[in-house]
Chains A and B, each alone.
Chain A
Amino acid sequence: MKINLKVNGILEEVEIEASTVLLDVLRDKLHLTGAKEGCREGECGACTVLIDGQPVDSCLYSAAAAANTEIETVEGISANGLSAIQKAMVEEGGIQCGFCTPGIVMTLTALLRQNADPTPKDVAAALNGNICRCTGYSRIVSATLKAAKNAMAQKAGDAHA
């Protein structure tokens, strides 16, 4: 079947099967390889993308069901340079091997849009569906708090100006 997917604001026509999952479309058809396959069972979160602003595991999300939604991938949020959370992840050392990183960036992007001033507990709970085997998470949490702080400071600065 042919469907139209709106990925990072661009409509793409793709040929899929009814059983195709979104991750395979993104990686194999659209060559957006930022989302990673870590388990294909919704346990690790490396394949996280946003659908209508909510993080989902694209490895078990029906591609056909994603028609008529807004799909955002790590490529999309990186289009205009590093976002606040991406910058903070680099600066704080929230990255090691990097394989979980795009998924974690997507989850935290959703978190910061919904909660501009999260607590460390909020961040940890938001990451329940994202496994990082390398970092022990501390620097990912501190990166998120830093990104939030920077964004709020920027906003205050903008309001002042």
Chain B
Amino acid sequence: MANTRQAARPLSPHLQIYRFTITMAMSIIHRITGGALYFGTLLLAWWLLSVAMGPDAYALFQTVAGSWFGKLVLFGYTWALLNHMVSGLRYLVWDNIRAFDLKSADVMSWGAVIVGVVLTIVTWVLAYELKGVL
């Protein structure tokens, strides 16, 4: 390894001099939201188990989920889920070698960012509007 770089050969550029692209940002965000959703399944399990276990367990879940911190986590979970879903649709398209040019890739990635945020906000507006309907 030590002798492989002998003369002033061009070095490959490192992270800090790469131009920001939305595709690279969405790539790592897809992985991070995926990882977050992985551990977020514990929340789904807790919710279902609390209903299965009885009123006391459910009351505890509601207290935590209804607190400001709980709501913050749930808001983040909602965004992570919807962003990961819309972002993942791009990969399903690209897997088929469609819309693979730079322009389409950029448009789809920005589209995924916007649709993910809009769906998250719509979800929470609906959640507050429909409170107590059932």
Task: Decide whether A and B are members of one complex.
Answer: no
Residues of B within 8 A of A (CB): none
